Structure 1
């Protein structure tokens, strides 16, 4: 798959609705868009095994236990504590091969398998750490893909929220802490992480690619195009930066004045 083919898949996914969003294929396209011409078969093989094994477990165990045991015990998916910042931990193809990664990448396999097995699950965009919400007969529970799918108790959610800087009156609200996000937003969370890491390492080409993927996945959001523009400006690609700013203009009137100011600043540099 080429980078252009990956962009076409992401564009199609972005144009569609949240219902039936092709999480796995879009996630594969994101990985190949970053590093083209690789074989995505390890991802599909792992995802297929997860679906088959989870379907066998469902019915004999609670939904959360079936999901965590399938992913962590049967398939050995876990977080990479020793090499947390390694780029392989955010690349879906390498995560499938190594069975190690960050929670936002591991969650792709959790959510895909849960859908296939008929479980009600969704990502939780928790501060600093992506979680998976699973609906059970006793109510929703949170699993941590990074910690072998371990159940995260409400008291621990509150402690984590406080450590992340949330105010106490928010940290006590489980309805806020466990608010589900769409599969689209789950994948965008992973791209946000890649963008932040690229910016910190001054890899502005990688930052541009991750921001572009966010723009394709959510074409109604102007913010990714601002990040594309900023990354291109850092590379000295001022014409491309202006093109991205033009895409951002008009998508959201509240930010129009700020985008116009940025547009004029870049245009003046070009002239």
Structure 2
């Protein structure tokens, strides 16, 4: 069992690290453990180690060291075989909006989750072998990109690690944005470790707001701020939610921090006005 204070300290330590130094799966486990500190992280860390062991055993198969597309296809196949075949991870189509789908501890227990949660496990598996892999901030549906010998493939963990071709991505984009949408370089942009964690927790936060649970949503924003304390928009969001909850001192502190670090002039003017109103209410 780990206390919430220790877990929050670990997240603050993660928040102070350079993006490349963040252990993505470990950080996601710590975030999840805040809801169940009594459960302990040991069995989940063991599972991550087991995935790495399975990848290491699979990596002796022929073809992985081949050059170009041949080697890349072999790595894609091994990744899908381990994650979908051996460990039976899959996307949750039946209860997509279930909050457990963005909680890595629950995802490991249930072997299903949201695209971003499954992607974290796929990234962990690939990086355990020193493979180069990253998240891709594709609109509406998180995917990953695996590199090998100058070649790259985009994979969908929600679909069992399926390789996505240009036509697949174009069709998905149109289904999200509209028939007139066309692929742009921004749709292929890589997303860093910290932003992957934020996207994971944001899924929970959005659903809590939709359900009217602002108190829990405020907790999610607080977790996001531990991981990304320099993200000015999160301080603004924290202030807005705390203000709606009637936590005026907390809202004031969040707005003041936003004004210290934000360079968005329009939002700075808005927050300054809100801060003035808060100050008057506190008098």
| TM-score, structure 1 normalization | 0.92
User: Which residue does the alignment assign to 1:21?
Assistant: 22
> Is 1:71 aligned to 2:72, yes or no?
no
Q: Find the residue that maps to 1:66 and give its secondary structure.
A: helix
> Is 1:202 aligned to 2:212, yes or no?
yes
| Displacement after TM superposition at 1:78 (Å) | 0.7
**In the superposition, relative to structure 1, how do residues 264 and 34 fare at CA in structure 2: closer, same or farther (>3 Å)?**
farther
- Please, which moves more after superposition, 133-142 or 216-225? 133-142
Alignment of 1:171-190 (within 5 A): 171-173=182-184, 175-190=185-200
Q: Paired residues, what number?
A: 269
User: Which residue does the alignment assign to 1:258?
Assistant: 270
Distance in 1 of aligned mates of 2:14 and 2:56: 26
Structure 2 segments unaligned to the other structure (5+ residues)? 65-73
Alignment of 1:203-222 (within 5 A): 203-222=213-232
Which of these residues, 119, 123, 143, is aligned with residue 111 of structure 1? 123
Distance in 2 of aligned mates of 1:267 and 1:33: 32
User: Which residue does the alignment assign to 1:55?
Assistant: 56
Distance in 2 of aligned mates of 1:165 and 1:72: 29
Q: Find the residue that maps to 1:85 and give its secondary structure.
A: coil
| TM-score, structure 2 normalization | 0.88
Structure 1 segments unaligned to the other structure (5+ residues)? none
Task: Give the superposed CA RMSD.
Answer: 1.9
Distance in 2 of aligned mates of 1:43 and 1:259: 41
* Deviations 1:170-213 (CA, angstroms, capped at 9, x unpaired): x333x432221111111111111111111111111221111112
